[in-house]
Structure 1
Amino acid sequence: MMSISSSIPLSNRHQLMIASVLAILMFATRDYHFSTTYNLPGASWAVFFIAGIYLRTAWPLLGFLALSWWLDFAAYAWGGASAFCLTPAYGFLLPAYASLWLAGRWYAGQYQFAWQTLIPLAFSMIAGLSLCELFSSGGFYFFSDRFADTSWAEFIVRSMTYFPLYIKSFVIYTGIATAAHILFVLLTCQPGTRKQPVG
């Protein structure tokens, strides 16, 4: 069963537009593509979270997973990127990205166009980010064989150094998406219906 109901129903056309924008954003901000040229922070984490909120089925999750793998492979095979991160731990990116998507999916079920929505939104963001960091960075640190004498204490120190950078880029892109969502609702909803899901 690949279909999961959403409390933010959008037309197929709007979903296709969102999916296209997210795919372009992932391509343009992957660490070793255009982001290094234009100093754009990586958007991959935000892409999976936002896709979970707006895209109605699980197929886009598989599509974005495939896109992220292809971008990494292309960078290594043809772009001269380092193979440092291509280890058996690379598979931990699957549950890492899926955690963000599921967090967004959960929030979609709590959504309402009201200030109260900030509470479940914040909860879903914190949960998704924490699980993604645990799977991605934790998986790499403990299972990549790139580090000798691993320990939870060292992992926590490393996370305190690098995790805030991921949080910063995540907040930037989800903040832009939130502003676009509010503007879209205000422009499309009739007076007195602004607490209703986007139609």
Structure 2
Amino acid sequence: MATTQTQRLGIFLALALVMAATRVHLSLFHHDVWDASWGIFFLAGFWLRGSVRWAFPLLMAEAVLVDYLVISNQGINFWDHYCVSAAYWFLVPSYFSLWMGGSWLARQKAGLNLRSLGLAAVAVVASFAVCYVISNGSFYWLSSSVPQPRSVAAWFSNLGDWYLFFLQTMALYVALGLVVHALVVQLGRTLNHADPSKLSR
């Protein structure tokens, strides 16, 4: 959605800062602040969809780096942590599905109306569902942290345990981002339609 490279860099840095600040919540905030990563990747796809070649890899690298630093700071070998296994690398397609959800929403070029709200809801729920199934499914079926025996029924039960929590968390951050977007768009319209003679007084 950003039109200039300066705007894109500014948005990227803001998103990266929010993700870093909330992704380290395990050690800094004691779970008082929810991880914004899923919302960040969706909003990045929405605002930076034309910059996927550099913005997505950098955000992905940041996520891995933050995880590494947080885990290492706990005195644990990165590869021995509960959350790290072969499934960890499935975060790439998981997060990319969120990016694509935001990118799809941006391509709709909807205005500030109920239709836009509906499209945003569809994009959030659909991309979240894909991300959640990939990340949760890969962890359940590939991680040694999940006790044997595994079954499809147990996996579906596990999916349901965390579905609403992760959806609510992502929706909260996306909603905050879209509110900021709407305010910026409205401010831009107001300034563009302002009477220059009044502004010069």
Q: State the TM-score, normalizing by the size of structure 2.
A: 0.84
One-letter amino acid of the structure 2 residue matched with residue 102 of structure 1: M
Structure 1 distance, partners of 2:158, 2:136, is 9
The residue that corresponds to 1:164 in the other structure is: 164
One-letter amino acid of the structure 2 residue matched with residue 158 of structure 1: N
Q: How far is 1:10 from its partner?
A: 2.6
Secondary structure at 1:18 match in 2: helix
The structure carrying a bigger helix percent of its residues is 2
One-letter amino acid of the structure 2 residue matched with residue 185 of structure 1: V
Q: How far is 1:80 from its partner?
A: 3.3
For structure 1, the 5+ residue unaligned runs are: 1-7, 192-199
Paired-residue identity, %: 27
The residue that corresponds to 2:197 in the other structure is: none
Q: How far is 1:12 from its partner?
A: 2.0
The residue that corresponds to 1:60 in the other structure is: 55
Q: How far is 1:182 from its partner?
A: 1.0
Structure 2 distance, partners of 1:9, 1:76, is 34
Residue 152 of structure 1 pairs with residue 148 of structure 2: no
Residue 18 of structure 1 pairs with residue 16 of structure 2: no
Residue 93 of structure 1 pairs with residue 91 of structure 2: yes
2:28 maps to which of 29, 34, 48: 34
Structure 1 distance, partners of 2:186, 2:167, is 28
The residue that corresponds to 2:198 in the other structure is: none
What is the aligned residue count? Answer: 183
> What pairs up with 1:1-199 in 2 under 5 angstroms?
8-30=1-23, 31-36=25-30, 39-55=32-48, 56-58=50-52, 59-80=54-75, 83-115=81-113, 116-147=115-146, 148-189=148-189, 190-191=192-193
Larger relative contact order (Cα-Cα within 8 Å, sequence gap ≥ 6): 1
Say whether the 8 Å CA contact 2:112–2:182 is kept in structure 1: no
Q: State the TM-score, normalizing by the size of structure 1.
A: 0.85
* Higher gyration radius (CA): 2
Say whether the 8 Å CA contact 2:87–2:139 is kept in structure 1: yes
Structure 1 distance, partners of 2:181, 2:2, is 13
Structure 1 distance, partners of 2:19, 2:72, is 19
Compared CA separation, residues 185 and 132, structure 1 to 2 (3 A): same
Deviates more, 1:154-163 or 1:78-87: 78-87
Task: State the superposition RMSD in angstroms.
Answer: 1.7
Secondary structure at 1:32 match in 2: helix
